[in-house]
Amino acid sequence: MPYDNHIAITPELVADHGLKPDVFEKILALIGRQPTYTELGIFSAMWNEHCSYKSSKKWLKTLPTSGPRVIQGPGENAGVVDIGDGQAVVFKMESHNHPSFIEPYQGAGTGMGGILRDVFTMGARPVAAMNALRFGAPDHEKTRHLVSGVVAGIGGYGNAFGVPTVGGEVEFDPRYNGNILVNAFAAGLADTDKIFYSKAEGVGLPVVYLGAKTGRDGVGGATMASAEFGDDIDEKRPTVQVGDPFTEKRLLEACLELMATGAVIAIQDMGAAGLTCSAVEMGAKGDLGIELNLDMVPVRETEMTPYEMMLSESQERMLMVLHPEKEAEARAVFQKWELDFATVGKTTDDLRFRVLWHGEEVANLPIKDLGDEAPEYDRPWTEPTRPAPLAANDVPQMDVADALIQLMGSHQIASRRWVYEQYDTLIGGNSLQRPGGDAGVIRVDGHPTKALAFSSDVTPRYCEADPFEGGKQAVAECWRNLTATGAEPLAATDNLNFGNPERPEIMGQLVGAIKGIGEACRVLGFPIVSGNVSLYNETNGQGILPTPTIGGVGLLDDWSQMSRVGFAAPGQVILLVGAPPSRGTHLGQSIYLRDLFGRADGAPPKVDLAHEKRTGDFVRGLIRSGVATAVHDLSDGGLGIGLAEMAIASGIGAEIVDLSDQDPILQYFAEDQGRYLVTVSLDPQGKELAALWDEAQRLGIFAPWIGSTGGTALVLGSARPVPVADLRNAHESWFPAFMQGQQADNAGH
């Protein structure tokens, strides 16, 4: 059937493209005529939420994005941060939520592929990956299938590509039953003078297509990712792309080889909305027009229409603007790696995006309006209603030892070994800390002492109760996890996952979280340099928990000073640095309440950012001066869980002395923020420890001695001693049993 570029653009067709009537009016006003069918597709791709950030842009602009080390903030494929010695770390986190729910293996795998491409597009060789995964309730019928498929998909892609996974998160909550979250993070290393950008320069230069061929997979994917799910979910499977890590690995090597020749002027990977998005971005950023000739595009299927070619999300493809005199050299590199190389267009000076096919001009649109001048919304939003704080005497009681064992074997706290052993965590030979600790750490290849730390964090139940405090806490916890290794936190990337922003209360969550993130980043000196927004995570009107995932990067000057989670030796002093005088006070929104009593009430813990900064800087000083022998930050589950994790990691027990005037439940399970467990090898009565306390007091930090390491059991005050072996057994058993279909969750939910 011949392709009809001039079919009637009916209201139904417009709606099918995810364009609201008011947006379509804008299109008509902009171009002064009916769009062609190809143009309608191009608009739907460029003006959807996923590509244009139209709901979030106004608020994203309020985030701090600069700092002395920031080379490139948001707006490029990834953020770039100086790590000294002429090197930079290039990183970003991006979601692949909708496709991973529809087809978990390919959805998650291509999420990995996309984020890796974002990093090496900028000239950086990927050196570390993380992924933050959120699934529905463990007993929901789809959960195990999704866990199994997503983990295999990430492993299948990342392992073959060859990047170590060094950290991440896995969480379960019924609010993700209909919309799981797959947030993938990647970081790479590059020389600061060899960073590549997407801004095209120069008129009449060749636009070159590289990598895999274009097929029909993923047509309309970005539009799909900007819509809610209904019951027709299975019909959306054809919009999910299929990944080929072998091609991606060759594309990496070919791109880095090509960049070294000096041929590349601008480069943009083809991600969401493929050829359309990449061509428009390169032209719009460079204030240039782009003319594409689709007859030159390498295709893997016959009879592909311009509409399909422009909207295909086939993976492992790149678009570049090259120096014409180096074209032959560039072609030879790609031929060596057996990848397609085709000149498909040129830059122009008319600021139009023109698409030619079989001698016909199938699209001719103003490029700036498509790209960096896409419409912005100021959506109405409402201030979220915050739950009342718990009454001071509302402390449901339970045996402390029983609570500890049950939480260690709960879906929230249990070891994620089943997941991370399916990821290659040591390829590259630079992994200093693998998943399971506070942060992943990678040695900077070629440097004698430097290393980078990575952590991904957010506590969605806090964000649901109070988006502003939750946003602050996500940043603070990430900063704290990096600090706990001894790293100086440098910068972060944010992956904002929310429901339908057209609902004012959801928009209120987004606004609140961004405000909280911004405040925390400003106080902690931790700018946001890249990010991604995923909205419409709703099914049949039920939104996910607001989940602004923060991926942070820190720098260690000397990894031989790095600290770890496991107790170093028996007989060492345990300090609770940053604690309030009663150790713990805040039970609202805690894991103790949620998973042992089925209660999701109370306000989340507040984050005192100035105190957070002081405490973290103090702990980092203890690590870097060699005083700290082990360090672990406290988060979900509080002090009891933190101690148990340190004991399990080392096989060494500990004995804690109760405070007589504080409820043990609050001491061991409250989730007050800004606290670290630090062990030191110092005489409890000696001068050095006294000096440490003097310094802490001078800074306004409380760092009480709460007990000592040793023995084979964890003894929480007057509670029954719990053998470390029992803690380990509870901690390691839940995930394998769950995946084998045995409901082993000790905690009620």
Partner 1 sequence: MKAAVIIFPGLNRDRDMVAALTKISGRAPATVWHGERDLPEADLIVIPGGFSYGDYLRCGAIAARSPIMDAVRERAADGVKVLGVCNGFQILTEAGLLPGALMRNTSLKFVCREVKLQVTNADTPFTRLYEQDQVVRCPVAHHDGNYFADPQTIARLEGNGQVAFRYAEGTNPNGSINDIAGILNENKNVLGLMPHPENLIEPAHGGNDGRALFASALDLVA
User: 117: which 2 tokens?
Assistant: 């491409």
Using the minimum distance from each CB to partner 1, give the nearer residue, 244 or 477. Answer: 244
Residue 736 beta carbon to partner 1: minimum distance, rounded to whole angstroms: 10
Tally Cβ neighbours within 10 Å of residue 66. 11
Tally Cβ neighbours within 10 Å of residue 581. 10
Using the minimum distance from each CB to partner 1, give the nearer residue, 430 or 481. Answer: 430
Q: Which of 6, 17, 50, 447 is catalytic?
A: 50
Using the minimum distance from each CB to partner 1, give the nearer residue, 232 or 338. Answer: 338
Q: Please, which residues have CB within 8 angstroms of residue 706's CB and are 6 or more apart in sequence?
A: 574, 575, 576, 583, 639, 656, 657
Tally Cβ neighbours within 10 Å of residue 717. 16
Using the minimum distance from each CB to partner 1, give the nearer residue, 125 or 599. Answer: 125
Q: Are 270 and 210 in contact (CB under 8 A)?
A: no
Residue 653 beta carbon to partner 1: minimum distance, rounded to whole angstroms: 23
Residue 168 beta carbon to partner 1: minimum distance, rounded to whole angstroms: 14
Question: Rule CB under 8 A: which residues touch partner 1?
Answer: 152, 155-156, 159-162, 244-247, 249-250, 337-338, 420-430, 432, 443, 559
User: 568: which 2 tokens?
Assistant: 């170093």
User: 412: which 2 tokens?
Assistant: 């929230």
Using the minimum distance from each CB to partner 1, give the nearer residue, 422 or 585. Answer: 422
Residue 421 beta carbon to partner 1: minimum distance, rounded to whole angstroms: 5
Cα(184)–Cα(115) distance, rounded to whole angstroms?
7
Asked if 96 is an active-site residue, the reply is yes
Cα(447)–Cα(424) distance, rounded to whole angstroms?
23
For residue 270, give the amino acid letter.
M
Tell me what percent of the chain is helix, strand and coil, each rounded to the nearest 5. Answer: 35, 25, 40
Cα(539)–Cα(373) distance, rounded to whole angstroms?
31
Using the minimum distance from each CB to partner 1, give the nearer residue, 435 or 489. Answer: 435
Asked if 749 is an active-site residue, the reply is no
Instruction: Give one DSSP letter per residue of 119-153, joined into a string.
Output: HHTTTPEEEEEEEEEEES-TTSTTHHHHHHHHHHH
Residue 444 beta carbon to partner 1: minimum distance, rounded to whole angstroms: 11
Using the minimum distance from each CB to partner 1, give the nearer residue, 346 or 564. Answer: 564
Closest of 735, 562, 734, 568 to residue 651, by C-alpha: 568
Using the minimum distance from each CB to partner 1, give the nearer residue, 359 or 429. Answer: 429
HSE-CB of 138 using CA atoms within 13 angstroms: 23
Residue 358 beta carbon to partner 1: minimum distance, rounded to whole angstroms: 34
Residue 104 beta carbon to partner 1: minimum distance, rounded to whole angstroms: 15
Pairing state of beta strands 654-656 and 713-716?
parallel
Instruction: Give one DSSP letter per residue of 411-438, joined into a string.
Output: TTTS--HHHHTTS--STTS-EEE-TTSS
Cα(182)–Cα(97) distance, rounded to whole angstroms?
5
Q: Which of 17, 96, 586, 632 is catalytic?
A: 96
Residue 536 beta carbon to partner 1: minimum distance, rounded to whole angstroms: 32
Q: How far apart are the first and last CA of the chain?
A: 56
Active site residues: 50, 96
